[in-house]
Amino acid sequence: MPKVVDHLGEKLALQDVVGQMLDHPEQVLPRFVERAMQMTGAASAGISAFEPQEGTPGIFRWRDLRGELACFEGATTPRNHSPCGVCLDRFEPTLTRHPERHYAWIAEAGVVCPEVLLVPLYVAHGQPLGTLWIVAQEERHFDSGHARIMQELASFVGIALAVLQNQQRLQEALAQQEMLTCEMNHRVNNVFSVVDAMIHVGKRSASSTPEFAQTLSGRLHALAAAHALVLHHADPATGATQPCATTLHALTDAIFRPYGAMAEKRVIVAGEDVELGDRATTSLALVFHELATNAVKYGALSADAGQVSVDWERRDDNLFIRWRETGGPAITESPRPHGFGSTLLRNTIARHFGGTLAQDWREQGLQIEFALPLNKLAR
């Protein structure tokens, strides 16, 4: 039976927790520990915060300690070999006397606990936070009244912490949404800039309006294919959105897919797959589309026996990509060096990636090798 029922103290303790939650949410647990000591007249108190660990039962970490045992702040204890673990398993207030007699790690620390009252702490959906423990200097100090009020306070604290967790998740989701909006604006502006360059340079190099429209349409489709590869998906664990993994093989597949059976039989792609960032995907899509279009219109893929080989390899901090055409019409002279296609290749490789480009217009077919820094491909 409780010795004394302190209704005013209970009311003030609840008001204190509410005030901390509204004004200083990070102080909810410390104030809870302080109130527990005041209301029970204990010598020490603290929180054993549960930390799950993969492959093990987990541990408790002591935090927000007050009183005589405050020097053990940050200490860890085993989950399945401690009074706190027993309290969580029972899911109710637990009273123990001289636990150092049963747990060697307590005795080894030189701690004497005549009597300990433990109360489980849970937040939303039964997620264990840990336990509140209160140590008295003598046996038979705690009574049923102490256990009741501590359990009520612990339940209220659990609700408060659940509300705070939901607020934090909401704030993180809003921050993530804001970041995605900024990123989308940036990407849209980049696309507009690329399209604007296509229009201004392409109209100077095109010989007719239909040719200009067809060329521009093809490049826009390449941009669309690249954009589809870098759409975002929701992470089921955190709820945050992350970009879908894009690779060099996925990109080349997307670029050659419109050419159907011809590409399947006459385009050979080889190399260890490499992950690509959003900007790298967009830029390489334009490069590969330009090379593929030229191969279909003038190069190896314009002849029945022609083939295109695309392969790459890592060397030190660079990725070397080779484009080789064979079996197409014989090349008798190099094309215009200042056409839009050539300008696009040079500018993309040099300006965006900081890479190098080497073109060899051999009679048997075009051969190109460009070196791209691997760190630029991840962006």
Structural domains in the chain plus CATH codes: 7-168 (3.30.450.40), 206-377 (3.30.565.10)
- Residue 37 token pair: 């000591």
Q: pLDDT tens digit string along 82-118? A: 999 999 888 899 999 999 999 999 999 898 999 999 9
Type of residue found at 49: A
Q: pLDDT tens digit string along 254-268? A: 888 877 777 788 999
pLDDT band at 235 (very low <50, low <70, confident <90, very high): very low
Distance CA 106, CA 95 (A): 16
Decide if 271 contacts 250 (C-beta within 8 A): no
Q: Cα angle vertex 238, ends 232, 242, to 5°?
A: 20
Type of residue found at 212: F
The Cβ of residue 89 has, within 10 Å, a number of other Cβ atoms equal to 13
pLDDT value of position 3: 58
pLDDT value of position 23: 62
- Cα 88 to chain centroid, rounded: 32
- Residue 156 token pair: 């209220």
- % of the chain at pLDDT higher than 90: 26
Q: Cα angle vertex 136, ends 133, 142, to 5°?
A: 85
Structure-token match 């093990």, residue found: 56
Residues β-bridged to residue 359 = 368
Name the pairing type of β-strands 318-326 and 365-373. Answer: antiparallel
pLDDT value of position 239: 45
Q: Is the pLDDT of residue 28 over 70?
A: yes
Phi-psi region of 56 (alpha: psi -120 to 50; beta: other; left: phi over 0): beta
Decide if 56 contacts 170 (C-beta within 8 A): no
φ, ψ (nearest 5 deg) of residue 119: -130, 130
The Cβ of residue 81 has, within 10 Å, a number of other Cβ atoms equal to 14
Q: Is the pLDDT of residue 243 over 60?
A: no
Interhelix angle for 248-256 vs 278-297, to 10°? 40
pLDDT band at 222 (very low <50, low <70, confident <90, very high): low
Name the pairing type of β-strands 115-122 and 128-136. Answer: antiparallel
Q: Is the pLDDT of residue 307 over 50?
A: yes
Query: Of 277, 290, 262, whose CA–CA distance to 368 is shortest?
Result: 290
